[in-house]
Amino acid sequence: MLQWLCIGWILGLACMGKSFLSVQLSSTVVLSAVLLWYLGCRKLKHIFNTPLRNLVMTGSSLLLGLFLGHGYANLQLSERLSTREHEVSEKQIVVHIKDLNKLGEQNIQQALHVLSPDGSTVKWMGFLPVQEPVTQSSLINAQIKQHLLELGRYYLIQGQIRPHHSYATPGSFDAEKWALQQNIMAGFRIKSIQELQPQQLYVLGHGKYLRQQQNLRPRILLWVERQRLALREFVARQPVQYKGLLLALLSGDESLLDPATERQFQRFGMSHLLAISGPHVLIFALMVCGTLQYLISRFMPHIYLKWPRQYFLSLPFLLCVLLYCAFVGFEIPALRTLLICVIVTFTLLLRQSVQALKLLILSAALLLLFDPFSILSAAFWLSYGACFVLLRIYQTIQQQPRQTEQTLLQRLYFALKVLLESQWKIFLALFPLMMLFFKQIAWITPFSNLVAIPWIGLLIVPIDILAALLFFISEPLSSVVFQLNDVFIHMLLAFLDLLDRLFAPQLIPVAMNVWMIALCILALMIVFLPRGLLPKSWTALACVPLCIPQLNQHAFQLSILDVGQGQAIFLRDGARSMMIDMGGYYDEEKFSIGRQVILPFLSVQGVGKLDQLILTHLDQDHSGAYHSIKHQLKIKEVSSNQIPEIAHSSRFQFCHQGQQWQWSEDIQFKILAPRQQQLNTAHFNKNERSCVVYLQVKNAGPYQNFLLMGDAGWETEYQLLQDYPELKVDVLVLGHHGSQHSSAYQFLEVLQPKLAIVSAGKFNRYGHPSQLTQQRLKALNIPLLNTAEQGSLHFQQQDSKLVLSAERHQWQWLYRQPLSR
């Protein structure tokens, strides 16, 4: 029953943050639920026969786990959300520096533990700007120049609070969820720093916290962080080429990592090798315990007469695992390994046995008990998913008949066979998770991993760990070993460069919606189930719906996407799809709305190409994303008021008044502006020559008529009133993001839309939507929705209704304002 209770617990926690679930726990509720479950299980023994009793007890254990898990998740989530910052403001804070910083090209990121007089702390992420990019060679000098915050010190810092704010668009990276999982409650732009002495802290009322830091655990953790810093500085001084990889593979610190190398690992689907995994931890523990065993066997073998070897070495092994976990910052894969080792050690000492699958489930449940927010991390699911696949491979190998005696060639053949089998099975098994989290895949991954995994795991990592151990004994010797390892890394990267030249692999965006991913998971579960439980041919049945076009038809959908300060609108009906604008960051090379928001959104919608794109005008915040992805996304036709640079596979036409087309009898499009003769002045007056799109969705309510204004202002609004005096509008997407020079009172008064929508960025420097525009709407009783507050807004047809939903209402950490209509 414990196994099913743990599974229920994990599934309950997996629903963390879902807005439609709100289970709340108290000690009374927990005790009552557990007592009811216990009494019910005892009663069942006397009522049902064995098979039925087992079924009911399994179901009740699963439900209890679900209830307790989700209640615990809500409790922890509410507590953490209460400490978040929501508004930009200037503030002076007292902080303690306990964590190693992260060096970047533009700034230095430093975790700040913000002190309160009651002894509690909250974690913010501080950003310290640098005058010039921090390079490997200038690392030490840059630290001195910038007066970096030193480990173990206390500071009075002046700066600006920068709340976390995600692009609340399906498929895009959720920065708010990531910050929540990392327990970072705000960003903080540092402007001035003043070091504080212990006496000053007592005066400021932080004596309780100071006394807490004198305990053993905080002192050990601080010592570990200082060793990580010393090792980083030592590696940075070495005459080696691949400092970043040496450090990243050793401690997970990517501060010295070359961006080009990082991109190469991403293109080969090998980024997971840069993260600290379970084997890293075990290699260190095995190296230390192997040395200890050799010394004892050689000099003090009589110890094993008193304590059997496995019992005697279990505690040092466990301590080594714990130490390395602390050294890498208690990353999820390392924590998983630590928990498994703890469970195995205790079962060994208690002379108990535990099945591998139960061990894996129990360690996951315990990890989520200590850190429930791990459930929000992709690392949790990928780590345990890979472990499950490896476990199934091991079980399959155990079931196969093997010769008792094998030659060296036979053993090598068998090892190669296992490596090949494990790679393609892991690639297939983790494919749905990769789609769910990253929306793209590298086809070359199984082949590159065939060489990279054994080369890194059996050669580079052990030598890296040996060099780090020697650092604490003899720095010159450690330097020699690091230089030797640099040669092996060079050989690996030379192999990857060769593959690069031969195949030029790229990350491939894959368009799969949630239902497609669910079917893939179902098919893979059938494949990986033990032989005999279900016929493997059933896998084909799970894939049938993906091949039937009629099942892939979609009802009408209009989504106004949250792309920050910009505009992007997606429309779909049946098999047709189009976009009106794509948004754009001011520097798409620095951060790409196209690659980070638009492509992931289209991927989760199952859209791999567009029939049409209308760029209302060529301002960066409307068209910039298109230019960054035009060669990755196939688009049949591009329309705009000017001729942009387009991909060779697309055709172009100007958009102008009088154009109209329809997708069906019920869905009709019209271009209301600009007039054809006005296109000549589009270069000088981009905003007022925006393509204004009018959409009618007949036989649907309460929203049938949509007017999409682009960046048009008063001049275009006046022209529309002259040309279309009887225009009916239910939903108005305000021109120019709700600026004061658009959405004139008379224009709004004549149209009287049921709903106004503005696409704007949170904390944007223009103040959009302007207070004047909001006052006009309020005076006319026109509700206003803002993508900055509501996230992406979706109009989806259900029978004869268009139902409006907001993306920020899907998850509790995204919620801002109620959806008024």
Residue 223 within any structural domain of the chain: no
Q: When comparing pLDDT for 784 and 30, which is higher? A: 784
**Which tokens sit at 279?**
């084997």
Averaged confidence pLDDT in the chain: 87
Are 667 and 809 within one domain? Answer: yes
Give the confidence band of 301 by pLDDT, cuts at 50, 70, 90: confident
Match 């223009």 to its residue by tokens: 766
- My answer on whether omega of the bond before 674 falls inside 30° of 0, hence cis, is yes
Q: When comparing pLDDT for 312 and 511, which is higher? A: 312
- For the segment 234-257, the average pLDDT, to the nearest whole number, is 91
Angstrom distance (rounded) from CA 324 to CA 251: 9
- For the segment 466-477, the average pLDDT, to the nearest whole number, is 93
Task: Give the domain CATH number at 696.
Answer: 3.60.15.10
Structure letter (DSSP) for residue 18: B
The answer to which of 384-388, 529-533, 602-606, 693-697 has the lowest mean pLDDT is: 529-533
pLDDT of residue 311 exceeding 50, the answer is: yes
The answer to which of 30-44, 534-548, 800-814 has the lowest mean pLDDT is: 534-548
pLDDT of residue 144 exceeding 60, the answer is: no
DSSP 615-646: ESS--HHHHHHHHHHTTTSEEEEEEESS----
Task: Give the domain CATH number at 102.
Answer: 2.40.50.140
pLDDT of residue 776 exceeding 70, the answer is: yes
DSSP 39-90: HHHHHHTTTS-HHHHHHHHHHHHHHHHHHHHHHHHHHHHHHHHTT---S-EE
Are 462 and 283 within 8 A, CB to CB?
yes
pLDDT of residue 549 exceeding 60, the answer is: no
Amino acid symbol at 414: F
Burial 720-737 (b: 16+ CB within 10 A, else e): beeebeeeebbbbbbbbb
- For the segment 57-86, the average pLDDT, to the nearest whole number, is 90
Name the domain boundary from 81, 105, 131: 81
- For the segment 142-156, the average pLDDT, to the nearest whole number, is 74
Angstrom distance (rounded) from CA 144 to CA 152: 17
Residue 431 within any structural domain of the chain: yes
Are 416 and 500 within one domain? Answer: yes
Range of the domain at 193: 89-214
The whole-number pLDDT of residue 132 equals: 59
- For the segment 113-135, the average pLDDT, to the nearest whole number, is 83
Are 520 and 476 within one domain? Answer: no
Residue 123 within any structural domain of the chain: yes
CA neighbor of 659 nearest in space, from 640, 644, 634, 643: 640
Name the domain boundary from 52, 81, 110: 81
Are 614 and 477 within one domain? Answer: no
Are 540 and 641 within one domain? Answer: no
Angstrom distance (rounded) from CA 418 to CA 239: 38
- pLDDT tens for each residue of 347-406: 877 777 777 788 889 999 999 999 999 999 988 888 888 787 777 776 666 666 665 667
Angstrom distance (rounded) from CA 687 to CA 620: 12
Residue 712 within any structural domain of the chain: yes
CA neighbor of 465 nearest in space, from 313, 246, 314: 246
Give the confidence band of 52 by pLDDT, cuts at 50, 70, 90: confident
pLDDT of residue 146 exceeding 60, the answer is: no
Are 705 and 735 within one domain? Answer: yes
Angstrom distance (rounded) from CA 227 to CA 328: 11
Are 530 and 598 within one domain? Answer: no
Are 340 and 198 within one domain? Answer: no
- pLDDT tens for each residue of 730-745: 999 999 999 999 999 9
Are 528 and 569 within one domain? Answer: no
- For the segment 177-200, the average pLDDT, to the nearest whole number, is 94
The whole-number pLDDT of residue 520 equals: 82
Residue 232 within any structural domain of the chain: no
pLDDT of residue 658 exceeding 90, the answer is: yes
Give the confidence band of 340 by pLDDT, cuts at 50, 70, 90: confident
- Look at residue 769 and give its three-state secondary structure: coil
Q: Which helix (H) or strand (E) holds 218?
A: helix 216-237
Are 732 and 801 within one domain? Answer: yes
Match 């050689």 to its residue by tokens: 298
Residue 803 within any structural domain of the chain: yes
For 777, counting Cβ atoms within 10 Å of its Cβ (0-12 exposed, 13-18 middle, 19+ buried), the class is: buried
The total number of structural domains that make up the chain: 5
Q: What percent of the chain has pLDDT over 70?
A: 91
- pLDDT tens for each residue of 682-730: 999 999 999 999 999 998 889 999 999 999 999 999 999 999 999 999 9
Residue 237 within any structural domain of the chain: no
Are 348 and 310 within 8 A, CB to CB?
yes
Residue 732 within any structural domain of the chain: yes
Name the domain boundary from 54, 81, 108: 81
Are 124 and 164 within one domain? Answer: yes
The whole-model pTM stands at 0.87
Q: Which helix (H) or strand (E) holds 187?
A: strand 187-196
pLDDT of residue 137 exceeding 60, the answer is: no
> Across the strands, what pairs with 673?
692
The 10 Å Cβ neighbour count of residue 147 is: 10
Q: What percent of the chain has pLDDT over 90?
A: 52
Are 653 and 761 within one domain? Answer: yes
Q: Who contacts 643 (Cβ-Cβ below 8 Å, separation ≥6)?
A: 652, 654
Angstrom distance (rounded) from CA 329 to CA 618: 46
The answer to which of 18-32, 177-191, 358-372, 646-660 has the lowest mean pLDDT is: 18-32
3-7, 145-149, 395-399: which has the highest mean pLDDT? Answer: 3-7
pLDDT of residue 439 exceeding 60, the answer is: yes
